[in-house]
Structures are given as C-alpha cells and as structure tokens.
C-alpha cells in the first residue's frame, strides 16, 4: 500500500510539473508585476511559485486561497480583487487545472500587482487637474447602456471588495437590487448580460429580481 500511495503521489506531481513552464512564461512576460502560484488541491499546499512578491514558498499551506467545489467547476475564475500582504492591490485570475478524468487537481493563480498603475493614474490626474469627475456620466440609453451597466457593477464590486462571480447570495441580491433601482435591468438584453457577468443563470437572476420586486 505505501508503494501504491507513493506512486500515485509521484504521478500527480509529474502531472503538475507540466504546467510549471506556463507559470514561468506568464511571470517572465510581466515581471516584476505578476506572481504566479500553483496550488496542489490534493495536499492543499503551494506546489510552485514564480516571482513570489507575496513572500510565500513552496510547501506552504494554500488554505487561504482555496475555492469551494462549486467554484472549481469553472475553468477560469475571475478576474477578482485581492490585497497583498504589503497592502498593494492585486488583480487576480485563477485557472482550474484538471487531471485526465477532468477532476480539479490544482489551481494556477495569477496575481497582478496594480499599485504601479494606480500611482501612474494618480500622477496623470494631478497633472491634468482632475481631482474628480468633472462631468456626470452619460445616461444609459441607446448604445452606451453596456458602459453604464459595467460602471455600476464595477462600482459595487469596489465597495463590496469582491468580484461579482464570487459574491455570496446576500451580496448578489444587493447588487441586483441596486441595478434594478437604477433602471438598468429594464433595458433589453441587460438581464442576460448581468447574469453572464455574475456567472449565474438568467433564471437565477429573474428569481432574485422577482423576490426583490415583490418585497
């Protein structure tokens, strides 16, 4: 039995190593702003990490980065917001890595440190004398309703501190309520766009909407 377990572990390790060059390539292209981490879902530990600005190491626990099983059904999770240990804002995306039976065996998390871009934005705003928005956003009509919709969802995500696909039911309900109150869900095709943006079905969206409007 020990020999069988050791062989199985070795096989899984070999399967993971196939993705190490992908992690190296992504990190090399965006170095030093991107960290790539491969989390082994079997051991719940970091199997590989490149450009580790989070100061984590191979072998450390992945408990803080683990998604639930329902989320791992998606091949790509995010992008979503995170905060690094040094306080820098990160824009992250995770790919679910699967074995030959299509079962999740690892996660490849790509963390983009956007603090440099935020600093550039602050400098540009200062040089352009733009302390804030000088003009109201255009109303959502004709072809710009998608922009208004994305602006509203992005604003809510920033306040909630979580990406729309990762929101719990209560937060999701609050977002849908705000979009409905703003009239954004009355635009033709908007509900389908919102459902896709939140990674839920249209039937699920209408279920939330029915409950909200009845209340």
The tens digit of pLDDT for each residue in 89-137 reads 888 899 999 988 899 999 999 999 988 777 776 666 555 544 444 334 4
Q: So what's the pLDDT on residue 134?
A: 37
Q: So what's the pLDDT on residue 141?
A: 40
DSSP state of 86: T
Average pLDDT of span 51-80:
87
Kindly state whether residue 41 falls inside one of the protein's structural domains.
yes
Has residue 139 got a pLDDT over 50? no
CB of 61 closer than 8 Å to CB of 88: no
> What share of the chain has pLDDT > 70, as a percent?
83
Query: Do 31 and 62 fall within a single domain?
Result: yes
Residue 97 pairs in a beta bridge with 106
Residue pLDDT, tens place only, 20-39:
999 999 999 999 999 999 99
Joined tokens for residue 159: 């306040």
Average pLDDT of span 34-45:
93
Query: Do 207 and 108 fall within a single domain?
Result: no
SS (H, E, C) 139-204: CCCHHHHHHHHHHHHHHHHHHHCCCHHHCCHHHHHHHHHHHHHCCHHHCCCHHHHHHHHHCCCHHH
Count of domains for the chain: 2
Where does the pLDDT of residue 150 fall: very low under 50, low under 70, confident under 90, or very high at 90 and above? confident
Euclidean distance between CA atoms 118 and 127, whole angstroms: 14
The boundaries of the domain holding residue 163 are: 136-214
Kindly state whether residue 95 falls inside one of the protein's structural domains.
yes
Query: Do 40 and 76 fall within a single domain?
Result: yes
Kindly state whether residue 125 falls inside one of the protein's structural domains.
no
Has residue 8 got a pLDDT over 90? no
């Amino acid at each position: 039995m020990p020999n069988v377990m050791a062989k199985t572990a070795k096989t899984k390790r070999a399967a993971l190593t196939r993705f190490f060059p992908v992690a190296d390539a992504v990190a090399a292209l965006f170095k030093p702003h991107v960290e790539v981490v491969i989390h082994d879902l079997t051991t719940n530990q970091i199997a590989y990490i490149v450009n580790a600005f989070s100061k984590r190491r191979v072998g450390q626990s992945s408990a803080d980065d683990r998604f639930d099983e329902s989320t791992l059904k998606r091949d790509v999770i995010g992008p979503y917001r995170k905060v690094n240990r040094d306080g820098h804002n990160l824009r992250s995306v995770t790919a679910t890595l699967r074995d030959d039976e299509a079962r999740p065996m690892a996660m490849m998390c790509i963390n983009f440190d956007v603090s440099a871009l935020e600093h550039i934005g602050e400098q540009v705003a200062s040089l352009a004398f733009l302390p804030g928005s000088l003009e109201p956003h255009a109303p959502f009509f004709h072809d710009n309703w998608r922009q208004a919709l994305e602006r509203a969802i992005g604003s809510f995500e920033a306040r909630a501190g979580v990406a729309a696909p990762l929101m719990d039911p209560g937060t999701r309900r609050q977002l849908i309520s705000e979009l409905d109150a703003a009239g954004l869900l009355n635009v033709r095709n908007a509900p389908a766009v919102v459902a896709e943006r939140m990674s839920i079905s249209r039937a699920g969206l209408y279920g939330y909407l029915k409950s909200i409007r009845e209340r």
